Structure 1
Amino acid sequence: MVKLMNVMKRYLKIIILGWMLCTVQNLVAQSTTIDTTGDLFKDFRTELMWEANVKIGNTIVVGESKRGIRRIIPITGGTFSGSKIKGDVLPLGEDWQLVRPDGDTELYARYLLKTHDGHLIQVINRALIHTGAKGNDFYCKSVLDLEAPVDSPYDYLNHAVFMGTIRFPVLQPGEDPYVIIGVYRVM
């Protein structure tokens, strides 16, 4: 019985060693395909899907937290339009913001779009706003998660990665506050 156990232990060690060697060989083979020229992302392209004029309400300042200053901006409506899609921004969302101790602002917006033909699309938009010390290195980009009905003409939105831009227009007297969100599909 002891002899059988020793044989089984040796056999198990050989199997584990063989598995480890195969794994290391796979890792080495993968590492040789790493692009060190910096050209890996040169072929990224984007396609503008739509621009949205998103109306916003008054800022609610939650206050100082352990992570920074929290505030909430209600989303009160708006419109969106692109070459393949258009409709309304429903007044059913909010932009939760965190002004970090380093001065950058993280945005987490969640809202709904209603297409001109009646389909609802959920939008989750995470953004980062950075303004440098001199104000000349402004950065504001976002990553969007879109969720469209699978039985709709907009199911293609469920199968791509989207990035966004946020612009803050100069408001005219009497104009309701809004932001302009550009939504781009990464090709």
Structure 2
Amino acid sequence: MRLPPPALEHVFDARIGVAVPVEVGVTVAGARRVVAITGGTVSGPALSGRVVPGGADYQTIAADGLTQLHARYVIEAEDGALIYVENTGLRFGPPEALERLRRGEPVDPALIYFRTAPRFETAAPHLAWMQTSLFLATGARAPDHVALSVYRVG
């Protein structure tokens, strides 16, 4: 029996400010990079607020350019509720586009596969639905920020 595909419900868009990456070097797991999160904004039909400065994205880059993303940060909703975010995903594209991204140059988002699966935790009862749903996001990297569009999987 085939079931219908899940619907996607737009929850919010985020613009997340990022600092210059710290290049840790090539380890047994691949090249390691840490990108500090400097703040940002969140706006959408189900959540609006700000990204609290202080989080980071811990990245592992494979020899073929595949970047595994593991970001951890906090969103403060407009009403003051705090939401812990753990966002894992993948970023990949043609070698020349990935090299331009690495140098901090603009790249057409259509050239890059950038998808994540954020998880949320909160003590706010009115946002408990964020802890009992799955989410997917599409992303784009700019020189000074990351743009995310986050969707709840129905």
User: Counterpart of 2:13?
Assistant: 51
Select between 131-140 and 48-57 the one with higher mean Cα deviation. 131-140
User: Counterpart of 1:61?
Assistant: 23
Helix, strand or coil for the counterpart of 1:90? strand
User: Which AA in structure 2 matches 1:141?
Assistant: R
State the alpha-carbon separation in 2 of the partners of residues 109 and 130 from structure 1: 16
Q: Does 1:77 find its partner at 2:39?
A: yes
Size of the aligned set, in residue pairs, is: 142
Q: 2:65–2:95: 8 Å Cα contact kept in structure 1?
A: no
Unmatched tracts of structure 1, length 5 or more = 1-34, 172-176
Note the alpha carbon deviations across 1:60-117, whole angstroms, 9 max, x for none.
0000101210000000000101112211100020000010123200000000000111
| Correspondences of 1:137-176 after superposition (within 5 Å) | 138-149=112-123, 151-169=124-142
Helix, strand or coil for the counterpart of 1:143? strand
C-alpha spacing 1:81/1:67, structure 2 compared with 1 (3 Å):
same
More helix by share: 1
Give the RMSD, CA atoms, in angstroms: 1.9
Identity of aligned residues (%): 31
User: Counterpart of 1:4?
Assistant: none
User: Counterpart of 2:149?
Assistant: 182
Q: 1:124–1:146: 8 Å Cα contact kept in structure 2?
A: yes
Larger radius of gyration: 1
User: Which AA in structure 2 matches 1:126?
Assistant: T
Q: TM-score, normalised by structure 1?
A: 0.70
More strand by share: 2
Alpha-carbon distance, 1:131 to partner: 1.1
Unmatched tracts of structure 2, length 5 or more = 98-109
| Correspondences of 1:98-109 after superposition (within 5 Å) | 98-109=60-71
Alpha-carbon distance, 1:168 to partner: 2.3
Q: 1:67–1:101: 8 Å Cα contact kept in structure 2?
A: no
Q: TM-score, normalised by structure 2?
A: 0.85
- Larger relative contact order (Cα-Cα within 8 Å, sequence gap ≥ 6): 2
Aligned residue among 79, 99, 104 for 1:117: 79
